[in-house]
Amino acid sequence: MPQYRYGSRARGAKKRSRRKSPGAGRLLAIFALILLTCGTIFGIYKGIGFVRKWVHDVMEDEPASSWAADGQTEGESAEAPADYSVLIENAYARAEQYDYDGAIAMIKQVDGYDKDAKLADTLYRLQNERNGLVKVDVNKVCHLSFKSLIADSAQAFSSSSAKKLNDGYLTVSEFEDILQELYDGGYVLVRLHDLAYVDDKGYFISGSVLLPKEKKAIVLSIEDLVYYEANTALGFANKLIVDEEGNLKSELRGRDGTVSVGAYDIVPLLEGFIRKHPDFSYRGARGVIALTGYDGILGYRTAPKYNDPTSPDYKPYYSGIKVDEERTEAMRTASRLKELGWEFASHSWGHINMASASLERVQNDTERWKTQVETLIGDTDILFFDNGADIGNWRNYSADNEKYAYLKSEGFTYFCGVDLTTIPWVQLSTQAGYLRQGRVTVNGTQLINYPSRLAPFFDAEAVLDPARP
């Protein structure tokens, strides 16, 4: 009978079973690893979603600009370039009035200006333009002198004073046309103090006016900007005022008694023209305003006679004039004029002929002007001679000229007569410390009878107002 080896079969089965287990285990391990990996990935995905939602909820009010375009935070990103557009605009505005030194200084005040592309480019342009400027010969600078303008030509030329007004004055439209022709001809306004001045060391020296080579310097002045009583109701403005915005305007009283405010005379007209054409003004220059004092100044009744019933010049209607208020307003208007670049001159207090007047009369008149006018407008070193009646001839002033010596001791340094033959006429003495300049008067007589004198500046026939008689 066959013998069964139970023990051997069992061991064999066991051996067979052991040989199969390693493969199955590996499969289970791989499967378990796959499940673990998928679970981990899913968990990470869900975790990231949770974190992103949490960040969004917490930071939802954070400005978007706190993140740089490349994902960096603001603190980690490079600084945004500074905006110098306003500075550059202001620098060019100064350069437009030929103050290139000031414009260049504005750019150079910025630390690292040479490392900023826009600032460096602006500086390069300004320096190039400045290098193209030419120094003006002060001995060749002309001076045009005007009087108050006729604002209402119908009223003026229909009055009994029509002949006088036609000869001595311009109309508003004529002055506007003259300004445009001067501008188109390349003229630029300069101050008398631009032509010569006292330097920091106390020396009287020639000025250094720099302009483009196609430009020409010119001085403009207004003689007798007083609004005399004698011109009341003859078509002239009656007062210069400062409005609420600080602008200078003229006050015009119509025949019916109504008062209008606007540009009815030289000052507001020129201010408006310069606003449109800032390059008509060298570093903010305007003109010279020459004043007498016996009827007040600028349309304000500031003279002592207006509140002194004992004065031989007193009139009953003066009783309604509040002289203290008039003086206050005159000072305010004068201050604004100076802020804008206007200069003041003495035309003598009483409109006297200093050439024929005695030294004593010159002294008395000057004392009145200083106490009644200069106290309102501030120190003044410019003197206009009435009717061009200079206190000397064409030769230099000398110390033995008593009138000159006196006027110089009173602070006058610039002396302006009238010269209609030698145009321009300038005499600068740095040694004696004065400047003389001949004025070319512009009025109806010059326009009509002597247009050739004005031809270097404008076409007299072209600007002539057809409203003239």
| 71 pLDDT more than 60 | no
Q: What pLDDT score does 32 carry? A: 54
> In the structure, what pLDDT confidence band is assigned to residue 322 with cuts at 50, 70 and 90?
very high
Q: Let me know if 171 is exposed, middle or buried by CB neighbors in 10 A (0-12, 13-18, 19+).
A: buried
| 13 pLDDT more than 50 | no
The CA dihedral of 170, 172, 173, 176, to the nearest 10 degrees, is 100
Helix (H) or strand (E) holding 173: helix 172-184
Q: What is the pLDDT of residues 404-459, one digit of tens each?
A: 999 999 999 999 999 999 999 999 999 999 999 999 999 999 999 999 999 999 99
| 75 pLDDT more than 50 | no
Structural tokens at position 46:
């869900």
> In the structure, what pLDDT confidence band is assigned to residue 8 with cuts at 50, 70 and 90?
very low
Q: What pLDDT score does 38 carry? A: 52
Q: What is the pLDDT of residues 350-363, one digit of tens each?
A: 999 999 999 999 99
Residue 434 and residue 413 in contact, taking contact as beta carbons nearer than 8 Å: yes
Shortest CA distance to 371 belongs to which of 395, 404, 342, 349? Answer: 349
| 80 pLDDT more than 90 | no
The percentage of the chain sitting over the pLDDT mark of 70, rounded to a whole number, equals 83
Q: What is the pLDDT of residues 287-296, one digit of tens each?
A: 999 999 999 9
Residue 409 and residue 385 in contact, taking contact as beta carbons nearer than 8 Å: no
> In the structure, what pLDDT confidence band is assigned to residue 40 with cuts at 50, 70 and 90?
low
Q: Mean pLDDT over all residues of the chain?
A: 88
Q: What pLDDT score does 81 carry? A: 73
Residue 121 and residue 419 in contact, taking contact as beta carbons nearer than 8 Å: no
Residue 423 and residue 453 in contact, taking contact as beta carbons nearer than 8 Å: yes
Q: Cβ atoms within 10 A of the Cβ of 37, count? A: 10
CA end-to-end span of the chain: 168
> What whole-number distance in Å separates Cα of residue 268 and Cα of residue 224?
16
Hey, is 300 helix, strand or coil? strand
Q: What is the pLDDT of residues 213-251, one digit of tens each?
A: 999 999 999 999 999 999 999 999 999 999 999 999 999
Q: What is the pLDDT of residues 179-215, one digit of tens each?
A: 999 999 999 999 999 999 999 999 999 999 999 999 9
| 65 pLDDT more than 60 | no
Would you give the DSSP letter of residue 232? T
Q: What pLDDT score does 36 carry? A: 55
Lowest mean pLDDT among 68-77, 117-126, 208-217, 265-274: 68-77
| 83 pLDDT more than 70 | yes
Q: What pLDDT score does 387 carry? A: 83
Q: What is the mean pLDDT of residues 339-344?
A: 98
Would you give the DSSP letter of residue 279? G
Reduced to 3 DSSP states, what percent helix, strand and coil does the chain have, rounded to the nearest 5?
A: 45, 15, 35
> In the structure, what pLDDT confidence band is assigned to residue 31 with cuts at 50, 70 and 90?
low
> What whole-number distance in Å separates Cα of residue 108 and Cα of residue 104?
6
Hey, is 458 helix, strand or coil? coil
> In the structure, what pLDDT confidence band is assigned to residue 337 with cuts at 50, 70 and 90?
very high
Q: What pLDDT score does 62 carry? A: 43
Lowest mean pLDDT among 58-67, 120-129, 327-336: 58-67
| 61 pLDDT more than 60 | no
Cα diameter, the chain: 179
The percentage of the chain sitting over the pLDDT mark of 90, rounded to a whole number, equals 81
| 156 pLDDT more than 60 | yes
Q: What pLDDT score does 355 carry? A: 97
Q: What pLDDT score does 3 carry? A: 40
Q: What pLDDT score does 82 carry? A: 86
Q: What is the pLDDT of residues 351-400, one digit of tens each?
A: 999 999 999 999 999 999 999 999 999 999 999 999 889 999 999 999 89
Distances (CA, A) of 412 to 90, 217, 466: 36, 23, 41
Most confident stretch, 72-76, 81-85, 292-296: 292-296
